[in-house]
Amino acid sequence: MLTIYSEDHRKRDAKTELCGGVLVEPFEKPSRMDYILKRLNEVSLGEIIAPKDYGLDTILQVHDKGYVSFLETCWDEWIAAGMEGEAIASTWPARRMAQKCPVDIDGKLGYYSLAAETSITEGTWEAARASANVAIEGARRLLDEKAVFSLCRPPGHHAALDMYGGYCFFNNAALSAQTFLNYGSKKIAILDVDFHHGNGTQDIFYNRNDVLFISLHGRPEDEFPHFLGYDDEIGEDNGEGFNLNLPMPKGTTFETWRKALFQAMERITEYAPDALIISLGTDTFEEDPISSFKLKSDDFYTFGKDLAELNLPTQFIMEGGYAIDAIGINAVNVLQGFEKGAN
């Protein structure tokens, strides 16, 4: 299986995350990629190549222009304002407040963010752009391949039309879906298997029927991002019936999770997409530090084989997974299981 990867992800090396009321070393860190790359090479999964630079055209089809401009200039504005730490939002346009973007950088951060745990740092723009290129390159390559792995960092599925958070800045799965559509596909399915709900992907496609979005995740009443991911969110207008959320409680085992996977696969088969995008988070793993499902490493291989039964051109896009020592094994197990099931 071909892997797309960019070393430019290392330009984002945040030192600050707000967790449990204190500042901690971020769970989303550059070394996550090192463990995955090591495992890819150990099992000789296939060639690893760098992406081309695809500019901003596809990004601006998926994200608000003002939001993209904010991400590009945020760090410079933060430094120019005399701030000493990393850029973290401290105020938001909450209920019954004006939904207008301020001029002050502190206000802009709150306007464009959905959570306070994710800082913007020097190099964040360049890393996010590189991650977008990895996603778009993977979609382009899938036109000639059966399966492709886009090893994206930063991840993307929490990035909405005009908001960042959850370590995400550009929505890589959405960029891939839009790329497929730009090249003639009529219907694309995105299956999000990350522990956390793909709120950003849902936001982008909620009114559309050319992209089916399905998410398996921890219940929003229990887990981040809390304010999307309920099972009564089914899409609106043209998108009604094309959004399926399958939330599950803390402690969910693979047996229960796999039943939800089969339900998702049935809906994908019914939809009959031209291609399938997997938002691949491995934070469903039993030892993940910020999640609560109980999947074991062998389970990732099994559901990779399950996904192959859909017999669709499939792009895997890396999302979350924070049990660093196991992330390589778990992520590559999915890919190896898929290859085994496809043969």
In single-letter form, the type of residue at position 307 comes to: L
How many whole angstroms separate alpha carbon 42 and alpha carbon 278? 23
Between the alpha carbon of residue 337 and those of residues 37, 46, 82, 221, 343, the distances in Å are 17, 14, 51, 32, 10
Q: Report how far residue 286's alpha carbon sits from residue 306's, in angstroms, rounded to the nearest whole number.
A: 20
User: CA–CA separation, 183 vs 309, rounded Å?
Assistant: 25
Alpha helices (runs of H) in 161-253, residue ranges in sequence order: 172-182, 199-205
> How many CB atoms are closer than 10 A to CB 101?
15
Q: Judge contact between 221 and 229, C-beta under 8 A.
A: no
- Tokens read off for 306: 């399950």
Enclosing H/E stretch for 247: strand 243-248
Maximum separation of any 2 CA atoms in the chain, in Å: 58
End-to-end Cα separation, the chain, in angstroms: 12
What gap in Å lies between CA 167 and CA 177, rounded to an integer? 20
Question: 198: closest CA among 225, 176, 164?
Answer: 225
CA distances from 167 to 49, 119, 145, 191 (A): 24, 8, 29, 19
Catalytic residue from among 63, 157, 158, 217: 158
For every residue of 249-283, DSSP letters joined together read: -TT--HHHHHHHHHHHHHHHHHH--SEEEEEE--T
Are the C-beta atoms of residues 152 and 172 closer than 8 Å to each other? Answer: yes
- SS3 (DSSP) at 192: strand
158 as an active site residue: the answer is yes
Tell me which residue of 159, 118, 173 sits closest to 314, measured CA to CA.
Answer: 173
- Which residues are identified as catalytic? 158
